[in-house]
Amino acid sequence: MISYLIKVLIEVLPGIKVSFQIFTFTFIFAFPLAVILSFVQITIFRPVINFFTWIFRGTPLMLQLLFFFYFLFPKLQLTHVSRITVAIIAFIINYSAYFIEILRSGIQSVEKEQIEAARLEGASDFKVFIKITLPQAIVKEIPTITSEFITLIKDTALVTIIALNDFLRLIQGVVSRDFRLEPYILSAIFYLLISYIIVKIFRKIEQKINFI
């Protein structure tokens, strides 16, 4: 059976690439986007950002993928944009909505006195955000952010709805072709392994920060 699973693994490598691409781009861009939008939120456009997070946290990600690929992009005459790009855009937007809310709870827990003191010293809104509120918010919310990234690797399987051959989809293809259920074990190990690595990385980060 092991040799069969290895054969399957080689066959589904392109799917691993797709899952990783979505994961990596979202991992890299969603959080910075959330940071920028958080700043916008606490300074000027609060209702706009609140509306944004309400929409993207309030609807299923699968529905957003369907909407982006089958409705929004064709309506904008953007049918030449590749499937994976559309998926990545939807993921980044969706995850940034979650991160905005996570950051918001972290930001609210920062003592008001610190901010007022900084203001008295003449620090700008931006400086207060970057130097005082944001770092503390991030440190406090690291466990939540970690579990968000674990959710992300599992969520990549949702792209199957727009016919993108991610890892789980290719596994499913093998299952229905070979009529054997063992490849599902492979998929379980894959997701467990990735989430294990994510947890390890964030533990390291947490330790580093606690030493400071």
- Decide: is 201 part of the binding site for other proteins (CB under 8 A): no
- Decide: is 161 part of the binding site for other proteins (CB under 8 A): yes
- Decide: is 118 part of the binding site for other proteins (CB under 8 A): no
- Decide: is 185 part of the binding site for other proteins (CB under 8 A): yes
Residues 6+ apart with CB under 8 A from 147: none
- Decide: is 6 part of the binding site for other proteins (CB under 8 A): no
Candidates 194, 170, 163, 177; CA nearest to 12 is 170
- Decide: is 175 part of the binding site for other proteins (CB under 8 A): yes
Rounded to a whole number of angstroms, the minimum distance from the CB of residue 26 to other proteins is 22
- Decide: is 70 part of the binding site for other proteins (CB under 8 A): yes
3-state helix, strand, coil in the chain (%, to 5): 85, 0, 15
Query: What is the rounded CA–CA span in Å between residue 40 and residue 93?
Result: 15
Residues 6+ apart with CB under 8 A from 210: none
Q: What residues make contact with other proteins under the rule CB under 8 A?
A: 1, 69-70, 74, 79, 160-163, 172-173, 175-177, 179, 181-182, 184-185, 188-189, 192, 196
